């Protein structure tokens, strides 16, 4: 609950978000946050890890029907991935823009002496001492290589969408090569400073049919 509540606040305020703001939004006493996280630095790092988690994205891609036309499958997957990439960019961009770096003690906000022990909530706040649902998922930093594993998992999920074409023998490249190319196009086009990315439909059309008209290609 704490991480889910904090994510939109991080998107708005970056590392300048306060634990008091988080507590008010979550409806809990501020000291409850510090029963789950050692300090604000650890909370923000957990938010970064949560933003990077691709499990829900992979599940959504796996749920796409292989009976649909290839273009429709890829458009649906691209829309899902675009939302994921945008979420990552929003959270990490807001944190970096406000000076947050995981492990930097200057960004930590440890509890004041009366915060971690106070059980006096503001109206509407919970006084429960039970661990929140965030406790098992709170982690001090993303594991080494986590971003690479997430990327490879995403490419593998995309590659599965080409299985009907593999069976039909209509692919010019391997599913992994095609998935890597599509994922690469999508992530590059979402980089800050570039014009707004094309729609999922336009991106898939470019991916499948290239830069010239089909008549010219033939």
Entry pTM: 0.72
The distance from CA 160 to its chain's CA centroid, rounded to whole angstroms, is: 21
pLDDT digits (tens, 9 = 90+) for 26-41: 999 999 999 999 999 9
CA-nearest of 3, 47, 10, 42 to 26 is 3
**209: which residues sit within 8 A by CB, 6+ positions away?**
217
Q: Which residue shows structure tokens 């029907």? A: 65
pLDDT digits (tens, 9 = 90+) for 62-102: 999 999 999 999 999 999 999 999 998 899 999 999 998 77
Assigned superfamily of 2-217: Tetracycline Repressor, domain 2 (1.10.357.10)
Task: Say what angle helices 19-26 and 40-52 make with each other, to 10 degrees.
Answer: 60
pLDDT digits (tens, 9 = 90+) for 121-130: 444 444 443 3
Q: What is the model's pLDDT at position 13?
A: 95
CB-based contact 107:44 (threshold 8 Å): yes
Other beta carbons within 10 angstroms of residue 120's beta carbon come to: 10
Q: What is the model's pLDDT at position 109?
A: 54
Give percent of the chain with pLDDT exceeding 90: 60
Mean pLDDT along residues 166-182: 96
CB-based contact 146:52 (threshold 8 Å): yes
Task: Say what angle helices 146-160 and 40-52 make with each other, to 10 degrees.
Answer: 20
No. of helices (H) and no. of strands (E), the chain = 11, 0
CB-based contact 41:106 (threshold 8 Å): no
Strands (E) in the chain, as ranges, are none
- Lookup: tokens for 136: 């098992």
**201: which residues sit within 8 A by CB, 6+ positions away?**
75
- Please give the Cα distance from 103 to 110 (Å, whole number): 13
CB-based contact 108:40 (threshold 8 Å): yes
Mean pLDDT along residues 42-51: 91
Q: Where are the domains of the chain?
A: 2-217
């Amino acid at each position: 609950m704490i991480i889910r509540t904090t994510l939109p606040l991080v998107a708005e305020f970056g590392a300048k978000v306060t634990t008091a703001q988080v507590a008010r939004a979550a409806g809990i006493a501020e000291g409850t946050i510090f029963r789950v996280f050692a300090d604000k630095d650890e909370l923000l790092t957990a938010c970064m890890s949560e933003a990077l988690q691709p499990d829900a994205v992979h599940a959504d891609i796996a749920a796409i029907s292989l009976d649909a036309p290839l273009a429709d499958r890829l458009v649906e997957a691209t829309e899902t991935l675009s939302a994921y990439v945008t979420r990552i960019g929003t959270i990490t961009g807001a944190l970096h823009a406000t000076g947050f770096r995981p492990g930097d003690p200057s960004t930590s906000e440890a509890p004041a002496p009366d915060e971690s022990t106070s059980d006096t909530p503001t109206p509407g706040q919970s006084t429960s001492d039970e661990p929140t649902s965030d406790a098992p998922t709170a982690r001090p930093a993303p594991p080494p290589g986590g971003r690479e594993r997430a990327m490879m998992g995403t490419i593998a999920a995309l590659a599965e969408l080409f299985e009907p074409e593999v069976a039909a023998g209509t692919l010019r490249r391997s599913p992994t090569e095609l998935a890597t190319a599509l994922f690469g196009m999508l992530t590059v086009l979402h980089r800050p400073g570039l014009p707004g990315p094309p729609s999922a439909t336009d991106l898939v059309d470019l991916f499948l049919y290239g830069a010239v008209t089909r008549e010219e290609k033939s």
